[in-house]
Amino acid sequence: MSTPPVLSLALPSDTGRVLSIQSHTVQGYVGNKSAVFPLQLLGYDVDPINSVQFSNHTGYPTFKGQVLNGEQLWELIEGLEANDLLFYTHLLTGYIGSVSFLNTILEVINKLRSVNPNLTYVCDPVMGDEGKLYVPEELVHVYREKVVPLASMLTPNQFEAEKLTGLRINSEEDGREACAILHAAGPSKVVITSITIGGLLLLIGSHQKEKGQKPEQFKILIDKIPAYFTGTGDLMTALLLGWSNKYPESLDKAAELAVSTLQALLRRTLDDYKRAGYDPTSSSLEIRLIQSQDDIRNPNVELKAERYR
């Protein structure tokens, strides 16, 4: 008997087919557990490769599990290639803990683009936050010199944008300049997902539609929620991929939708922990992803983007 066709290839969706290379936890929502479900709800076929498989996220007192190395990642790619399964419209990557694995990611990008030259690569350059680096220092160099030039969209936080550009971000103008530096290095779309300036929390986005052209830039002022959550960066990048592909010329609209989903989900998470009698300020919280699926599909946009002149 002949092998039946893969329907996501034979009858592709209007949205796309995503290869997502991120971490995985058995319990809780971080990495692929935080990214795959929302993308599927938004209509994407998503194939996850789990860079790690842990019992739970590393914020718990203990965790157990396995780590995928670069050679094992490449074996999976070779298996897909041997069966003509390597056509993807999007590649999504998140936390990567070693230089060797990141170098294999570079090979994966080149391999996928040899199959589909129009592949969109969405990169969340997870390196640290709030002044603290939590990956080896040498990863910063690989991201800056090799990964950023290949990215279509980049979603760093404030600290990561500073590490990639060498620019301290102390103002909105600095944030906009950091985006311009990153555009010059490669990606046409840059979203600095969280910047704290003068006690305010905001997102700054930038879309350079043609090389050398002045980018369209905007900001969204975000309501601060008094708690710490896991998996929010992974979710945010997945939502930005999902909505920016639906609105390719309107990154500000995509960001409004992504931020609105995230804010609704975080408020629900906070309320549910309080209902369970738990002090939500005492530790990091697991997000209520499944319970927020209506907010993922049809977010109520309360926070609007403001374009810079």
CATH number of the domain to which 69 belongs? 3.40.1190.20
Q: Tell me if 135 is assigned to some domain.
A: yes
Q: How far apart are CA 120 and CA 171, in angstroms?
A: 30
Q: Tell me if 12 is assigned to some domain.
A: no
Q: Tell me if 292 is assigned to some domain.
A: yes
Predicted pLDDT at 1: 67
Q: Tell me if 5 is assigned to some domain.
A: no
Q: Tell me if 180 is assigned to some domain.
A: yes
Q: How far apart are CA 150 and CA 301, in angstroms?
A: 32
Predicted pLDDT at 210: 93
Q: Tell me if 62 is assigned to some domain.
A: yes
Evaluated on CA atoms 104, 105, 110, 112, the torsion sign reads positive
The number of folded domains in the chain is 1
Q: Which residues contact 170 (CB under 8 A, 6 or more apart)?
A: 197
Residue indicated by tokens 């995985």:
24
Three-state SS for the chain is CCCCCCHHHHCCCCCCEEEEEEEEECCCCCCHHHHHHHHHHCCCEEEEEEEEEECCCCCCCCCCEEECCHHHHHHHHHHHHHCCCCCCCEEEECCCCCHHHHHHHHHHHHHHHHHCCCCEEEECCCCEECCEECCCHHHHHHHHHHHHHHCCEECCCHHHHHHHHCCCCCCHHHHHHHHHHHHHHCCCEEEEEEEEECCEEEEEEEECCCCCCCCEEEEEEECCCCCCEECHHHHHHHHHHHHHHHCCCCHHHHHHHHHHHHHHHHHHHHHHHHHCCCCCCCCCEECCCHHHHHHHHCCCCCCCCEECC
- What is the residue-averaged pLDDT of the chain? 95
Longest alpha-carbon distance in the chain: 66
Structural domain of 137? 17-307
Catalytic residues: 234
Q: How far apart are CA 246 and CA 220, in angstroms?
A: 19
Q: Tell me if 113 is assigned to some domain.
A: yes
pTM of the model: 0.96
Q: Which residues contact 6 (CB under 8 A, 6 or more apart)?
A: 85
CB-based burial label for 87 (10 Å; 0-12, 13-18, 19+): middle
Which regions of the chain are under pLDDT 50?
none
Predicted pLDDT at 170: 96
Q: Tell me if 194 is assigned to some domain.
A: yes
